[in-house]
Structure 1
Amino acid sequence: MVTSAPLPISLDRSSRVPLARQLAAGVRDQVVSGALPVGRRLPSTRALATDLGVSRSVSEQAYDQLSAEGWLTGRRGSGTYVAAGASARPRHRPRRQRVEEPGLLRLDTGTPWIDPRHRAAWRRAWREVSVATPPRGYDDPAGTPELRAELAGHLARTRGLTCHPDEILVTTGTIGGLTQVLTALPPGPVAHEDPGYRAAAEAIRSGGREIRDLPGAEPVTDLGGCVAAYVTPAHQHPLGPVMSGADRLGLLAAARGAGAVVIEDDFDSEFRYDVAPVPALAALDRDAVAYLGTASKSVAPSMRLGWLVAPPALHHTILERREVTHDTAPWPVQRAFVSLLRDGYVDQVVRSARRVYAARAERVLAALDGRAEPIRPVAGMYATVPLPQATALRVAECARAAGFEVPLLSDYCRTARLTGVIIGFGGCTDAELDQALAAIVRALG
């Protein structure tokens, strides 16, 4: 004989949700989770009402609702049962593929150093946001006009890229802009540097596109069959070299010959300290290049703010889509960045960081002198150090033991067979960098 048992369900009598609806939800959850398996007999409506201290009408309404949904079935003269087809569904907790060890400081390629002396300007910008009046509805799909005007001046002054504010689209960072460009392109493969920026490669794959590997820091002469090529010409990520003038012209010629768009990720061009920043590739051909800029390397990655200057046809396609999807950066972030640009905060933190990075690059070179040779010139906020893989693994392990995570060059490769380590020096203090370098030197012997 099949018997029933009391149901472990609690009701909140202070809730505005009717008791019958609460009871139905509680039973439904147990059926869906498998706690009440198929064929289980449930208490009668009278017994359940008594167990829960409610009127019988509450339990009757709950059972009627669940029977109508197909979770329960009544058998004449026998009782109410969990219906066939209501099988258990295991619940899985999401599992992170990469678990950071507590207290481990990652010396990566993208965490900037922000001079604490400029915090007052940062706070002032957000105070302005707090008293500003937000849009009544969704914001301008291209981005706020005030921010686009400030960005137009910033790009002309710092990147040699002259454009009208209406030609700029504000994005949710580099990957947000890249994804919108990819969505606007016709079907086809996208060329990508190897080794290269892993987040960009993942965005290309996630869009269902094939990646064609371009050997990193080498001339590009053929883009046949590709609809686009993603490149980092100002500071190849992660190898470091600047794309030469001849190679820039060759890349543009290859793009025109293939009818492809060059997607320029200008991620940290402001941090050259051996020479003046190299002008943007887009300045050479606005019709062939989609330019991506970001606030992540100069202000804060967590702002999730960037900008896109695309060829006219792509610009209109992306803007039309954004008018439907409202896929742009949040208004408060845009409004704050207007103040940060207008009041000189961005220029100040860039100048300060450039001086700090130059000094830290010298510390890295001095520490490794005679032991390893980084790829020169060192620029931006990291140094790439070619090493045999066994040595690179030993360096990473020794750094980890000292409390630091040092990325492996091989992790940035797909078909390339390059090995070594990358020593980031943006997201740390001078003292922390010295500790990490001491551990690296010990590993190098």
Structure 2
Amino acid sequence: MRALPISLDRSGKSPLPSQIAAQVRELVLAGTLGSGDRLPSSRALAAELGTSRSVADKAYEQLAAEGWTEARHGSGTFISDVRPGSARRRPAEGRPRHEALLVRLDAGTPWGFPKQDAGWRRAWREVSTAEPPRGYDDPRGLLDLREALAERLARTRGLSVSADEIIITAGTTDGLRQLLPELPPGAIGIEDPGYRAAVETVRCAGRDVHDLPATLPIDRLSGVVAAYVTPAHQHPLGRVLPAPDRLTLLETARRDGAIVVEDDYDSEFRYDVAPVPALAALDRDRVAYLGTAAKSVVPTLRVGWLVPPPHLLDAVVRRREATHSGAAWPSQRALLTLLRDGWIDRTVRTARRVYAERAARVIAALSPYAELAAPIAGMYSAWLLPEPKAVRARDAARAAGFELNLLSQYARTHQVSGLVVGFGGATDAELDRALGVLAAALRRA
């Protein structure tokens, strides 16, 4: 029997028995304690650590319940028979268990509203007092939420639909995932460069991806059954699909018998002009509309919505009913309160101001060294420059604690190089520091 190398943090949030149990587990996993090793008595351990005996007793009870230790009558407490391979593999010597967390300067991390926000807390209090459905809810989602979304889509996106035409999803890729089985067999066209999560979703569904040029009018869709596009704010280049190109796309889809899947990405966060109306407002029969609360609330809320073309609506609903697919009820209920209280409208207005101010700082810092791919809107910017320079700047940012992507990471056959610089998920101080690092790296390059 030997003393255990255990230290307690009495100012920490974890209870003392939990701290003791956790450190004994770690000693076993590290090989410091092996099968059959005897532990100090609870009285001896308590005296050694300066705690009450009940603290040590509780820790030993927890370890015994989990099977790490066993008590032998009249002999004491021993480490159980932990056979080779039964415990998880330890990280390599000298290697941290978790990489240091980097500040993400990406295209999808939004501005973080104040955590003490009263409207946010009120929404979750209402969730806690509301009565959840007794079983699986309407496969289309919470009716009150769909009604609130129908009003909002008409007001902000020019899309007039009824609540019964809206299906609540767990985000845009979930909406795409649920739409794909109802389409005829065939490939799906996706913008190139384009949204990588959509590409992966289509491939996981067993369909081929056909590359559509992101900067040219789409005037041919033969060979595909649908075209996935981000017309409000092209991901990742940031281009708004011009009106003539919108009409060309819809006419091409009608002629070639394809569905247009509109991911209304980042549509609410224009600060140069009013948001461009949804493409689905021009042709409900040909366009499937995807929206999400990821940018106006938080991505981890995991709530979005799908408005399929009328001829596909019943098929999508039937499949959801059979598979019990849908967004979590608490998230739906919270989003309903945030919409009804005007919280999302206020947050979007504030975010626009924040993004507009940050966009100006990004332009001032990077425009001497790179070319903007499109006028900045939303929470990120795309910059064109040679790949070696982009890689050097990306690596310098990472070394300084910031993560951002190369434009080439979004491309498949299209040749494009540069950086995607997000400014939604950083603080003002972090953004200024990141811009200083990027500017210095590009200046040296």
TM-score range, shorter chain: 0.7 to 0.9
| Aligned residue type for 2:238 | G
> Counterpart in 1 of 2:120?
122
After TM superposition, the structure 1 = structure 2 runs for residues 55-66 of structure 1, keeping only pairs within 5 Å, are none
> Counterpart in 1 of 2:186?
188
> Counterpart in 2 of 1:210?
208
What is the TM-score of this pair, normalised by structure 1? Answer: 0.78
Q: Map Cα deviations across residues 285-319 of structure 1 (whole Å, 9 max, x no partner).
A: 00000000000011000011000111112111100
> Counterpart in 1 of 2:251?
253
* Aligned equivalent of 1:312, options 310, 320, 323: 310
SS in 1 for 2:117: helix
After TM superposition, the structure 1 = structure 2 runs for residues 334-349 of structure 1, keeping only pairs within 5 Å, are 334-349=332-347
| Deviation (angstroms), 1:114 | 2.8
> Counterpart in 1 of 2:232?
234
Q: Is the 8 A contact 1:228 1:263 kept in 2?
A: yes
After TM superposition, the structure 1 = structure 2 runs for residues 37-48 of structure 1, keeping only pairs within 5 Å, are none
| Aligned residue type for 2:378 | G
Does 2:160 align with 1:162?
yes
| Deviation (angstroms), 1:92 | 9.9
| Deviation (angstroms), 1:91 | 11
> Counterpart in 1 of 2:431?
433
After TM superposition, the structure 1 = structure 2 runs for residues 358-369 of structure 1, keeping only pairs within 5 Å, are 358-369=356-367
Structure 2 Cα separation of the partners of residues 211 and 283 of structure 1? 26
Structure 2 Cα separation of the partners of residues 105 and 367 of structure 1? 19
Q: Is the 8 A contact 1:180 1:318 kept in 2?
A: yes
| Deviation (angstroms), 1:405 | 1.1
Quote the sequence identity (%): 59
Q: Map Cα deviations across residues 88-108 of structure 1 (whole Å, 9 max, x no partner).
A: x99998x9xxx9841321201
Where in structure 1 are there 5+ consecutive unaligned residues?
Answer: 1-7, 10-25, 27-51, 54-88
> Counterpart in 2 of 1:269?
267
SS in 2 for 1:150: helix
SS in 2 for 1:396: helix
> Counterpart in 1 of 2:130?
132
> Counterpart in 1 of 2:32?
none
| Aligned residue type for 1:157 | R
Q: Map Cα deviations across residues 97-138 of structure 1 (whole Å, 9 max, x no partner).
A: xx9841321201001103318711000000001000111111
Q: Map Cα deviations across residues 230-260 of structure 1 (whole Å, 9 max, x no partner).
A: 0000000000110011100100111111111
> Counterpart in 1 of 2:19?
none
Structure 2 Cα separation of the partners of residues 91 and 252 of structure 1? 58
> Counterpart in 2 of 1:327?
325
| Aligned residue type for 1:162 | S
Q: Is the 8 A contact 1:118 1:349 kept in 2?
A: no
Structure 1 Cα separation of the partners of residues 379 and 194 of structure 2? 16
Q: Is the 8 A contact 1:114 1:349 kept in 2?
A: no
The change in CA–CA distance for 1:91 and 1:288 in structure 2 (over 3 A counts) is farther
Structure 2 Cα separation of the partners of residues 267 and 92 of structure 1? 41
| Aligned residue type for 2:328 | P
Structure 2 Cα separation of the partners of residues 172 and 368 of structure 1? 36
Q: Map Cα deviations across residues 33-82 of structure 1 (whole Å, 9 max, x no partner).
A: xxxxxxxxxxxxxxxxxxx99xxxxxxxxxxxxxxxxxxxxxxxxxxxxx
| Aligned residue type for 1:109 | A
SS in 2 for 1:353: helix
Structure 2 Cα separation of the partners of residues 92 and 416 of structure 1? 43
Structure 1 Cα separation of the partners of residues 301 and 396 of structure 2? 33
| Aligned residue type for 2:330 | P
Structure 2 Cα separation of the partners of residues 237 and 100 of structure 1? 30
> Counterpart in 1 of 2:139?
141
**Range with greater deviation from structure 2 (117-126 or 283-292):** 117-126
After TM superposition, the structure 1 = structure 2 runs for residues 56-95 of structure 1, keeping only pairs within 5 Å, are none
Q: Map Cα deviations across residues 201-251 of structure 1 (whole Å, 9 max, x no partner).
A: 000000110111001132100000211000000000000110011100100
Structure 2 Cα separation of the partners of residues 225 and 401 of structure 1? 45
> Counterpart in 2 of 1:415?
413
| Aligned residue type for 2:209 | I
> Counterpart in 1 of 2:399?
401
Q: Is the 8 A contact 1:143 1:329 kept in 2?
A: yes
Structure 2 Cα separation of the partners of residues 237 and 101 of structure 1? 28
Q: Is the 8 A contact 1:235 1:268 kept in 2?
A: yes
Structure 1 Cα separation of the partners of residues 408 and 116 of structure 2? 37
> Counterpart in 2 of 1:111?
109
SS in 1 for 2:231: coil
**Range with greater deviation from structure 2 (209-218 or 190-199):** 209-218
Structure 2 Cα separation of the partners of residues 255 and 92 of structure 1? 53
| Deviation (angstroms), 1:370 | 2.1
SS in 2 for 1:271: coil
SS in 2 for 1:255: helix
Q: Is the 8 A contact 1:192 1:231 kept in 2?
A: yes
Structure 1 Cα separation of the partners of residues 280 and 169 of structure 2? 18
Q: Is the 8 A contact 2:194 2:411 kept in 1?
A: yes
Q: Map Cα deviations across residues 351-400 of structure 1 (whole Å, 9 max, x no partner).
A: 00011001110001111232222223101100100110100011011111
Q: Is the 8 A contact 1:179 1:203 kept in 2?
A: yes
| Deviation (angstroms), 1:442 | 0.5
| Aligned residue type for 1:410 | S
Structure 2 Cα separation of the partners of residues 266 and 100 of structure 1? 35
| Deviation (angstroms), 1:156 | 0.4
> Counterpart in 1 of 2:149?
151
Q: Is the 8 A contact 1:177 1:307 kept in 2?
A: yes
Q: Map Cα deviations across residues 176-214 of structure 1 (whole Å, 9 max, x no partner).
A: 000011111111000000000000000000011011100
Where in structure 2 are there 5+ consecutive unaligned residues?
Answer: 1-34, 37-66, 74-84, 92-96
The change in CA–CA distance for 1:161 and 1:209 in structure 2 (over 3 A counts) is same
Q: Is the 8 A contact 2:237 2:374 kept in 1?
A: no
| Aligned residue type for 1:131 | T
Does 2:291 align with 1:293?
yes
Q: Give the number of equivalent residue pairs.
A: 359
SS in 2 for 1:163: coil
What is the TM-score of this pair, normalised by structure 2? Answer: 0.78
Structure 1 Cα separation of the partners of residues 369 and 390 of structure 2? 13
SS in 2 for 1:238: coil
> Counterpart in 2 of 1:80?
none
Structure 1 Cα separation of the partners of residues 181 and 88 of structure 2? 32
SS in 2 for 1:269: coil
Q: Is the 8 A contact 1:118 1:345 kept in 2?
A: no
SS in 2 for 1:328: coil
Q: Is the 8 A contact 2:191 2:214 kept in 1?
A: yes
> Counterpart in 2 of 1:201?
199
Structure 2 Cα separation of the partners of residues 203 and 108 of structure 1? 20
The change in CA–CA distance for 1:249 and 1:394 in structure 2 (over 3 A counts) is same
Structure 2 Cα separation of the partners of residues 278 and 163 of structure 1? 18
